[in-house]
């Protein structure tokens, strides 16, 4: 029995987050469409695999994160998906415009919306409560 479009999309997003939790940036990028669109939380829109990889490298430098309680949902046609999760992280290196980093730990709910095309991720839109994160790392 072959997988439905919903099952394929769900499996794709699950592989994406498994790669994230393994720190496998190349594995994550391999799941992206060449012209992937990335909507950063409360930030700019970036396009392309190279921009996404640069984002991952910046994140890996400043944060050590692991996602737990990941729940993935997808549309019947497999063109849209969403995920909800809880980020368990450590703020290691400060970023411009954010509080200084001192190894603060945080736990933060988050989510993402995806567009799927040709069995690859064509858009990732990430969301979390930035003010909650700032409050946690400012304590």
Quickly state the pLDDT bin for 42 (edges 50, 70, 90).
confident
> Percent of the chain beyond pLDDT 70?
99
> What is the spatial distance between Cα 82 and Cα 72, in angstroms, rounded to a whole number?
6
Cα 14 off chain centre by: 11
As a whole-number percent, the residues of the chain with pLDDT over 90 amount to 94
Cα distance between residue 107 and residue 6, in whole Å? 30
CATH 3.40.50.1110 fits 5-138, yes or no: no
Q: Which two tokens stand for residue 126?
A: 């990430």
Q: Tell me, yes or no, if the pTM score tops 0.75.
A: yes
Domain ranges, ordered by start, for the chain = 5-138
């Amino acid at each position: 029995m072959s997988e439905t479009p919903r099952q394929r999309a769900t499996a794709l997003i699950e592989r994406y987050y498994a790669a994230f939790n393994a720190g496998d940036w190349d594995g994550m990028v391999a799941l992206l469409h060449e012209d992937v669109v990335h909507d950063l939380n409360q930030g700019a829109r970036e396009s392309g695999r190279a921009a996404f990889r640069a984002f991952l490298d910046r994140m890996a430098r400043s944060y050590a994160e692991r996602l737990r309680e990941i729940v993935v949902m997808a549309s019947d046609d497999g063109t849209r998906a969403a995920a909800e999760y809880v980020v368990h992280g450590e703020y290691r290196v400060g970023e411009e415009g954010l509080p200084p980093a001192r190894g603060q730990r945080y736990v933060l709910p988050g989510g993402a919306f995806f567009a799927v095309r040709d069995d690859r991720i064509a858009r990732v839109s990430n969301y979390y409560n930035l003010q909650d994160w700032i409050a946690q790392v400012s304590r």
